[in-house]
């Protein structure tokens, strides 16, 4: 690589920020995403994200909707530019679309924005997504939304972040009043107040101040609010965590921003601070050690495969996170698992509902590759020296069904379908140790529906799914396993690699099994 192109690669990597927004449904993710896209001048996208959201559909409608809308239903990637940065937002679907793909998508992000409703605090889906990010140790930024509504006290919310998620927090700004009484926020980093103005709160006034004792605040926001603000910030200064960038980078401390996405309030400060603090594309582990984004040769891995995007064909799109180098349309790369060179000729980038053909892309970007059935989750595509990226984690399923084929004559196709859909990551498959039954495991109900639909439409097999009462799966690592210890409210199965996994009906059964097997390890992810 010559010096000029090395410099370009460095600059391109430096300006990229690839992140996912994690939240519970209704916290305002769609609204926040749309506002961020608008900041980036992606005006033509205004409404698209919302339109997509408007189809709050029943699960059973999913296939029809998928057919009509192509990519729009399941997660995609949005890209925009702001202040010299190139931003990739990875969409993590909520509601019924929640699936293992949602978790895998998080592995392609370098940081996460955790969006929380000020009235509801930390909710179930946020906890699950947070845990996946926390395991990777990526930086997590918190945006507390809907400040224009009555909500919980900021101190209370910080306490909850620590108690429920186990993460310390450092408020970057602080609300002045709340709900109908909200007059603005105090920016602790820049020492300035941002005030709502006008009856509809549509204008925002920014005023630099000395510190939070500055009398200007009382003039602007009233004596009562100014006093309360000073009291609370004093308490934070004394008892709160100081801002520590190293801890933020390790995911041990989350910077917290307060605002209201729908009113655009606090968003610009959030975006600008976030872009400054969020990490550029990070290296990824491989069989040849860590692969740095500025490695001159291209490399990347597939983290998600989306089938049936085009109803007329059985096309799939393989989503690839570029880990290093520069991608150019038409380039040849090695598909490491199959040991062949392939040409990347129809790459796509996803902007909400539009699909654009990409000519070039850099480390940190996500591209969609046309997949005639040659990719699997976790596949590595590399240029130059051959290596493979570390396997993607297998996430613990929470819903289980016993699967049987209705017509015994179709057994061969049935087996082929199960094998392929497992490889694609649509479902996880287990076999019970006692009766050799086939049990499917998923993290979202939609995965069962996709499985049933695709078995019928792609393999011509009608399957019967029978829900099982289990809620937890734990991979067991032990010298010896005694199946008799897994009889009460639990069952022992093997995954497709032959690892033992225990399925439990409730937490009590799980605790009991853990107590009864002190020499065994019970893992949430496959070893």
Annotated binding site for GTP: 23-30, 91-95, 145-148
DSSP 8-class letter at 23: E
Q: Based on the shown chain and the rule CB under 6 A, indicate whether residue 53 belongs to the binding site for ligand G4P.
A: yes
Tokens in use for 192?
A: 């300035």
Work out how close the CB of 262 gets to ligand G4P at its nearest, in angstroms, rounded to a whole number: 4
123 or 437: CB nearest ligand G4P: 123
Binders in 337-396 for ligand G4P, by CB under 6 A: none
Taking a C-beta distance cutoff of 8 angstroms, is the pair 302, 318 a contact? yes
CA angle 44, 50, 56 (to 5 degrees): 150
The DSSP H or E segment spanning 21 is: strand 16-23
Q: Let me know: does 22 contact 129? Beta carbons within 8 Å.
A: yes
Assign 518 to helix, strand or coil.
Answer: coil
Mark the segment that binds ligand G4P (CB under 6 A) among 37-45, 261-269, 275-283, 509-517: 261-269
Instruction: Tell me if 149 contacts ligand G4P by CB under 6 A.
Output: yes
Give the CA distances from residue 225 to residues 170, 198, 262, 283, in Å, rounded to whole numbers and listed in that order.
Answer: 21, 18, 23, 46
Q: Extract the runs of DSSP E, i.e. beta strands, from 83-133.
A: 85-90, 111-117
For the record, the structure tokens of 231 come out as: 């009291």
Q: Segment 93-132, which members bind ligand G4P (CB under 6 A)?
A: 94
Q: Which is nearer to ligand G4P, 129 or 503 (CB)?
A: 129
261 binding ligand G4P? (CB under 6 A): yes
DSSP 355-414: EEE-SEEETT-EEEEEESS---TT-EEESSS---BPPPPPPPP-EEEEEEESSGGGHHHH
Question: Which range binds ligand G4P by CB under 6 A, 18-26, 244-252, 427-435, 484-492?
Answer: 18-26
- In the bound state with ligand G4P, the residue whose beta carbon lies nearer, of 145 and 491, is 145
Residue with smaller CB distance to ligand G4P, 28 or 139: 28
Q: Which of 148, 187, 371, 379 binds ligand G4P (CB under 6 A)?
A: 148
Query: Which x/- pattern over 57-96 shows residues binding ligand G4P (rule: CB under 6 A)?
Result: -------------------------------------x--
DSSP state of 161: I
Question: Of the ranges 20-28, 214-222, 246-254, 383-391, which one interacts with ligand G4P (CB under 6 A)?
Answer: 20-28
CB of residue 180 to ligand G4P, shortest distance in Å: 11
Candidates 40-48, 174-182, 209-217, 255-263: pick the segment binding ligand G4P (CB under 6 A).
255-263
Report the alpha-carbon distance of residue 147 to residue 115 in Å, rounded.
Answer: 12
How many chain residues bind ligand G4P (CB under 6 A)?
A: 18
Query: Taking a C-beta distance cutoff of 8 angstroms, is the pair 290, 283 a contact?
Result: yes
Task: Check residue 204 for interaction with ligand G4P (CB under 6 A).
Answer: no
Of the pair 129, 248, the CB lying nearest ligand G4P is at 129
262 is a contact residue toward ligand G4P (CB under 6 A) = yes
CB of 142 to ligand G4P, least distance (A): 15
Q: Which 460-489 positions form the footprint of ligand G4P (CB under 6 A)?
A: none
Q: Which stretch binds ligand G4P (CB under 6 A): 155-163, 257-265, 334-342, 461-469?
A: 257-265
413: Cα separation from own chain's centroid:
34
Q: Among 13, 18, 30, 439, which residue interacts with ligand G4P (rule: CB under 6 A)?
A: 30
The distance in angstroms from the start CA to the end CA of the chain is 39
Report the binding-site residues: 23-30, 91-95, 145-148
In the set 23, 79, 286, 422, which binds ligand G4P (CB under 6 A)?
Answer: 23
Question: Could you say which of 13, 20, 22, 27 contacts ligand G4P (CB under 6 A)?
Answer: 27
Q: For residue 19, give the nearest of 83, 84, 90 by alpha carbon.
A: 90
Measure the CA–CA gap between 433 and 441, rounded to whole angstroms: 16
- CB closer to ligand G4P, 180 vs 497: 180
* Shortest Cβ 153–ligand G4P spacing (Å): 18
- To ligand G4P, the closest distance from the beta carbon of 23 in angstroms equals 5
Pairing outcome for strands 111-117 and 16-23 = parallel
Give me the least distance between CB of 27 and ligand G4P, in Å please: 5
Q: Which of 26, 162, 241, 458 forms a contact with ligand G4P (CB under 6 A)?
A: 26
Is there binding between residue 260 and ligand G4P (CB under 6 A)? yes
Q: Does 31 bind ligand G4P (CB under 6 A)?
A: yes
Q: State whether the Cα torsion 439-445-451-456 is positive or negative.
A: positive
What are the E-state strand segments in 245-398?
Answer: 253-258, 284-286, 289-291, 299-307, 316-324, 326-328, 332-335, 340-343, 348-351, 354-357, 360-362, 366-371, 380-382
Radius of gyration for the alpha carbons in the chain, expressed in angstroms and rounded = 25
* Part of the chain binding ligand G4P (CB under 6 A), chosen from 131-139, 256-264, 403-411, 467-475: 256-264
In the chain, count H helices and then E strands: 14, 31
Q: Using CB under 6 A, list all residues that contact ligand G4P.
A: 23, 25-31, 53, 94, 145-146, 148-149, 260-263
């Amino acid at each position: 690589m010559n010096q000029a192109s090395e410099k370009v690669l460095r600059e391109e990597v430096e300006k990229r920020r690839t992140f996912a927004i994690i939240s519970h449904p209704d916290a305002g993710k769609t609204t926040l995403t749309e506002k961020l896209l608008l900041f980036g001048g992606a005006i033509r996208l205004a409404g698209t994200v919302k339109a997509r959201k408007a189809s709050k559909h029943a699960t059973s409608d999913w296939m029809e909707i998928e057919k009509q809308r192509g990519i729009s239903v399941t997660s995609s990637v949005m890209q925009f530019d702001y202040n010299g940065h190139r931003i990739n937002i990875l969409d993590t679907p909520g509601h019924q679309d929640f699936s293992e793909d949602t978790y895998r998508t998080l592995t392609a992000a370098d940081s996460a924005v955790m969006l929380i409703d000020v009235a509801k605090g930390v909710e179930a889906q946020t906890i699950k997504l947070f845990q996946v990010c926390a395991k990777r140790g990526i930086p997590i930024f918190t945006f507390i939304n809907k400040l224009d509504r009555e909500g919980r006290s900021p101190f209370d919310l910080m306490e909850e972040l620590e108690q429920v998620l186990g993460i310390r927090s450092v408020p970057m700004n602080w609300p002045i009043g709340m709900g109908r009484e909200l007059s603005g926020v105090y920016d602790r980093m820049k020492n300035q107040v941002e005030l709502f103005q006008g009856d509809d709160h549509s204008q925002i006034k920014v005023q630099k101040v000395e510190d939070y004792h500055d009398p200007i605040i009382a003039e602007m926001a009233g004596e009562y609010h100014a006093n309360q603000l000073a009291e609370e910030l004093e308490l934070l200064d004394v008892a709160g965590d100081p801002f520590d960038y190293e801890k933020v980078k390790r995911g041990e401390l989350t910077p917290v921003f307060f605002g209201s996405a729908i009113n655009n309030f606090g968003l610009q400060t959030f975006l600008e601070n976030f872009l400054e603090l969020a990490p550029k594309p990070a290296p990824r582990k491989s069989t040849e050690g860590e692969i740095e984004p500025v490695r001159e040769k291209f490399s990347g891995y597939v983290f998600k495969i989306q089938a049936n995007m085009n109803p007329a064909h059985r096309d799939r799109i393989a989503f690839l996170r570029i880990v290093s180098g520069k991608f150019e349309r038409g380039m040849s790369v090695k598909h490491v698992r199959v040991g062949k060179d392939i040409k990347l000729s129809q790459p796509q980038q996803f902007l909400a509902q539009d699909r654009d053909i990409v000519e070039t892309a850099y480390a940190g970007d996500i591209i969609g590759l046309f997949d005639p059935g040659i990719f699997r989750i976790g596949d590595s595509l590399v240029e130059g020296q051959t290596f493979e990226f570390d396997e993607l984690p297998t996430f613990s399923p929470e819903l289980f069904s016993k699967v049987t084929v209705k017509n015994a004559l179709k057994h061969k196709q049935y087996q082929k379908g199960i094998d392929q859909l497992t490889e694609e990551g649509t479902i996880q498959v287990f076999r019970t140790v006692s009766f050799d039954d086939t049990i499917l495991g998923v993290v979202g109900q939609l995965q069962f529906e996709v499985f049933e639909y695709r078995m019928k439409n792609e393999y011509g097999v009608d399957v019967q799914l029978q829900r099982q009462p289990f809620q937890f799966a734990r991979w067991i690592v032990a010298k010896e396993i005694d199946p008799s210890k897994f009889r009460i409210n639990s069952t022992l199965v093997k995954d497709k690699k032959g690892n033992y996994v225990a399925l439990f009906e409730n937490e009590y059964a799980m605790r009991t099994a853990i107590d009864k097997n002190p020499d065994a390890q019970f893992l949430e992810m496959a070893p």
